[in-house]
Amino acid sequence: MKNTKLRFGEIILSYALKIVMIIFLIISIRKLHWEWIFGCIVAIIVSFVPTILKRNYQITLPLILDILITFALILHVGGGLLGFYDIPQYDTVTHFISSFLVAFLAFVIIYILHVYWDGLIMDKYAMAFLVVITTIAMGVVWEFNEWFTDLIFKTAEQWGYEDTLKDLFIDTIAGILMAIIGVTMIKRGSFDEMTGELGKQIDKRIIKSKREEKNE
């Protein structure tokens, strides 16, 4: 009963965030901000990817992942469109949410591979360690992307030495936080519950494991 209520709340939140995104699109059209009109359209398409995956390919992403993707996009688009990036530490919060999303995705993938793939069996604490270093490494890849963009297009994506280090520090914190949450959820069995459906679908389509079930 409690789980049904929670799931219903999550669905409402997911749709509410998508409505906010549509409102942002209307605002950007009214302001004739072409850059953000394009940004909003892309963000809306991305936020509907989980729905498209479910309808067309029967792949059900965890609802929390759906919410995190939409929330990260709203923060970024809203920041640019409404000038929130001028608010002190707004950029830090946005970066943290994005890193947390990356860490969450990493944990889900590692856990599913652990359950269904013969090539990976991991202790939950080893998984947590792997999630932290994956999040940091993805942060480095993101910084490479910004660095190359600046070098090639003479933009100013990277604000300087301290800002880059701050971003990497935020990635580390987000990775550690997700690792702690993930291990707690695995211990309680709720991580298995959350990723169960997605795991089965990925196994059926990609991994195609021979075993029925693999114990932790």
Partner 1 sequence: MSKIRKICNKQCLTFTLFLRIVMIISIIIALWRRDLVWVVGTFFGLFISILPSLIKRDAKFTLPWILDFLIALVTILHVGGRLFDYYYTIENYYLVTRFFISVLVAFIGLSMIYILDEHWDGLRMDKYAMGFVTVIFTMAVGVFLEFIKYLNVTGTYYVKTNHVLMLNLSADTVAGIIIAMIGVNLIKSGKFDKITDDFGNEIDKMVIERFEKREKKN
Which of 171, 151, 155, 152 is CA-nearest to residue 163? 171
Our finding on whether 197 is near partner 1 (CB under 8 A) is: no
Our finding on whether 126 is near partner 1 (CB under 8 A) is: yes
Our finding on whether 136 is near partner 1 (CB under 8 A) is: yes
Q: Which two tokens stand for residue 216?
A: 């932790």
User: How big is the CA angle at 146 (ends 24 and 43), to the nearest 5 degrees?
Assistant: 20
Residue placing its CB nearer to partner 1 in the complex, 176 or 194: 176
- Stretch binding partner 1 (CB under 8 A), from 9-17, 63-71, 115-123, 199-207: 115-123
Which of 20, 38, 17, 19 is CA-nearest to residue 29? 38
Which of 152, 169, 3 is CA-nearest to residue 95? 169
Our finding on whether 29 is near partner 1 (CB under 8 A) is: no
Our finding on whether 49 is near partner 1 (CB under 8 A) is: no
Our finding on whether 161 is near partner 1 (CB under 8 A) is: yes
- Exposure class string for 116-141: b at 16+ Cβ within 10 A, else e: bbeeeeeebeebbebbbebbbebbee
Residue from 13, 63, 64, 122 binding partner 1 (CB under 8 A): 122
- Stretch binding partner 1 (CB under 8 A), from 63-71, 78-86, 133-141, 194-202: 133-141
Q: Binding string, 165-194, against partner 1, x = CB under 8 A?
A: x--xx--x----------------------
- Exposure class string for 91-102: b at 16+ Cβ within 10 A, else e: beebbbbbbbbb
Interface residues with partner 1 (CB under 8 A) are 117, 119-123, 125-126, 130, 132-134, 136-137, 139-140, 143-144, 147, 158, 160-162, 164-165, 168-169, 172
